[in-house]
Structure 1
């Protein structure tokens, strides 16, 4: 599929975009090698896309700032990457099974990524639906009242956007001759890669705030919205790579003191300085796992960190009792589009 991937990477100016083929490997629970077929039909939002275009050019400098030794960040992201916003009008196959995709970073082929980069497609209407119908109610139930003002759609959009950008950072080939990271980590590769993208996304947002590149946004908004997003994604369950990744992040951040829970109200509060420290620590841990191709280490990490404590399970059950949905159903077809 490499010729198709390379051709699709050049088709950046279309108003209508189609993504189709065997793409994601999450359904292969044995080795994580076999891809499932899916399709999207998307309409480009040119106004929002214009706001995003400049971030793709920052990848090489951000790669050099990753909190790991030089060997783990020696690879250089492809310089032909781009970043655009779309409204989704059609999901099919694996894309329409279970939780709905709100952002895409493709192609997945590591050789293509290093040679030519990736395209990052943010599905704005799907994001807005999940923010309004799920994230805001989740925050109302589980985030401390005086921090709820930090929940914003712009922060939610940025967190997801930089999650997708972060897939292009880090390391694709192991340092010890074990092949690609995906080959070496087998069925653990998907969940660890999603965790990497979450954490490096926050790392990038923090660095860009420090550079003054994200004017008009407050960094604390990103952190509090990220914590609310962890609760949203954990509910996808252990069968989801995103769900497992978020459970592991929650456990790691809790141990680092990045947030606290008030036992009386059952609500959570972000400790902003400790959150920044925890982001760097977890980013370094994940990148080392990937660079070393440490399958046994990742497996232990996911088993230990992926467990939900009784208190967290109780808090998640509260969301269900309030009838807060786990995900949205995408209404589509000719009747909806009229």
Structure 2
């Protein structure tokens, strides 16, 4: 892949540091040196402080129940995932090696590795390397300097395709190049590794999926392998691999980024979750929105499974770490077949213990801290993923799928929908006595979860979604802020606010009105000064924002 134009990242004769340009009229050399040294020291201090927001976690699990062949498969899956990681670097910041070679400070290098580039993903993509400008919305999916209108007016094929990049040919004309052509060497290596794993696979469903996914990676035709993945029922091992999410393409939210998760199923927990998907049609009928926005019937051939994740790679490892997955993203497959909701239990427990509990102790009303528990956190996250299947996939205004209509505004609003409809599901299931527990536990834990997720910042779809939820719930009296800076949930108003926000989001999606969604984001998906002050307390207390991993064959003890 061609590098992003250096002119877009390194401004000749200027040093853009932390958003302040230091070029202009000639100045005294000593002044320039002092300013540069001060700015560099400031960025070094920033990196040192920001490294502390991550808590390191070992990704391990009990391998005793795996067969000999399954243990042999694991290294092959991890090698495949590592290649996905390299491919994501090529998408997010292809100048990785040249950048790292210029950096002497080991902490700065570590922070570059965590962020997959020189921009702080959990702080609005703030640049933290001297000479680096703002993060380009185009990443490396589009030529530097290309505008939305340029692409719209061009006759390039596959303009908004998931599995291609847009380049300029020798004449300056925009053309598309498929991923399987651009990354042919790397993808063939992954395909071979998955075929080797398939030869060792004893479960027929896993064997079929691995073979089809191996073929898909070198053709960019993922439909058959997606169906095969959904058909797997009895597998102990799993790998989610390929170009999957669109978050990195902030220009159109169209191009998919490479990632991988290597998973081991927790069959005991998975069995406990099996019953909930069949309830989706009934829950869809009860959505607090006009009938025309809930006519679609969600697929019920879906599964809820719990896993221990033993390897993260690529997009899912950049910025905030995913703790649950709802796939495939293909709307047609979702409607025909459904999705699989995978709960990453060990990563989820790490975030609960190391982040959510300390946040609750600091920011949740003392009398309500008793309601924070892991079962409620697990359920809220799980039903967030299930709730992606509720609501509306196609606009009622003839604008096609919601994703197509909303483009770069789609992801954050969809995450907000899943958040609030997940809580709607919990509320409904508790009332039907299909779920055990006290509603106070789920609502209070949800409130603590909002305070956890807003810290991901405005560069994160999940961060924006939780900012909107916080501001909407505050406006509707779902919680109050005590004089000591802690938050107290009003349980009756919490449910009312939940229904109102559900109505708002589904209506926005169903109308496919991108301008209205953009307006909502600018007005509501923001952190107020008061909230920022409270969040700063967490930083001062050393409460991590997220986790990073020690992972791989050595950590697992397999070769």
- Bin of the TM-score, shorter chain as denominator length: over 0.9
Structure 2 unaligned residues grouped into runs of 5+: 1-221
Q: State the superposition RMSD in angstroms.
A: 0.7
**Corresponding position of 2:344:** 123
Q: Distance in 2 between matches of 1:329 and 1:80?
A: 34
- After superposition, residues 193-204 of structure 1 pair within 5 angstroms as 193-204=414-425
Q: Distance in 2 between matches of 1:275 and 1:92?
A: 37
Q: Do residues 90 (structure 1) and 307 (structure 2) align?
A: no
Q: Distance in 2 between matches of 1:226 and 1:157?
A: 10
**Corresponding position of 1:273:** 492
**Corresponding position of 2:184:** none
Q: Distance in 2 between matches of 1:296 and 1:243?
A: 20
SS at match of 1:328: strand
- After superposition, residues 52-67 of structure 1 pair within 5 angstroms as 52-67=273-288
Q: Distance in 1 between matches of 2:513 and 2:324?
A: 28
Kindly indicate whether the alpha-carbon contact (under 8 Å) linking 2:458 and 2:526 is maintained by their aligned counterparts in 1: no
Q: How many residues align?
A: 336
CA deviations 1:287-328 (Å, max 9, x no partner) are 000000011111111110012111101001110000111101
Q: Do residues 328 (structure 1) and 547 (structure 2) align?
A: yes
**Corresponding position of 2:173:** none
**Corresponding position of 1:233:** 453
TM-score, with length taken from structure 2: 0.60
Q: CA deviation at 1:12?
A: 2.4
Q: CA deviation at 1:5?
A: 1.2
Q: CA deviation at 1:38?
A: 0.3
Q: Distance in 2 between matches of 1:288 and 1:233?
A: 24
Q: Do residues 243 (structure 1) and 500 (structure 2) align?
A: no
CA deviations 1:130-172 (Å, max 9, x no partner) are 0000000000110000000010000000000000000000100
**Corresponding position of 1:298:** 517
Q: Do residues 307 (structure 1) and 523 (structure 2) align?
A: no
Q: Do residues 20 (structure 1) and 233 (structure 2) align?
A: no
CA deviations 1:217-251 (Å, max 9, x no partner) are 11110100011101111111100000000001000
Q: CA deviation at 1:333?
A: 1.1
Q: Distance in 2 between matches of 1:279 and 1:259?
A: 12
Kindly indicate whether the alpha-carbon contact (under 8 Å) linking 2:458 and 2:464 is maintained by their aligned counterparts in 1: yes
Q: Distance in 2 between matches of 1:212 and 1:95?
A: 35
CA deviations 1:34-58 (Å, max 9, x no partner) are 1100001100001100110000111
Q: Do residues 191 (structure 1) and 437 (structure 2) align?
A: no
Structure 1 unaligned residues grouped into runs of 5+: none
1:133 aligned residue (354, 362, 382): 354
**Corresponding position of 1:162:** 383
CA deviations 1:72-104 (Å, max 9, x no partner) are 111101121110100001111112212211000
**Corresponding position of 2:255:** 34
Q: Do residues 222 (structure 1) and 442 (structure 2) align?
A: yes
Q: Distance in 1 between matches of 2:260 and 2:396?
A: 34
Q: CA deviation at 1:335?
A: 2.1
Q: Distance in 1 between matches of 2:358 and 2:494?
A: 23
CA deviations 1:257-290 (Å, max 9, x no partner) are 0000012x11000000000000000000000000
SS at match of 2:275: helix
Q: Distance in 2 between matches of 1:170 and 1:42?
A: 29
1:255 aligned residue (475, 495, 512): 475
Q: Distance in 2 between matches of 1:171 and 1:124?
A: 28
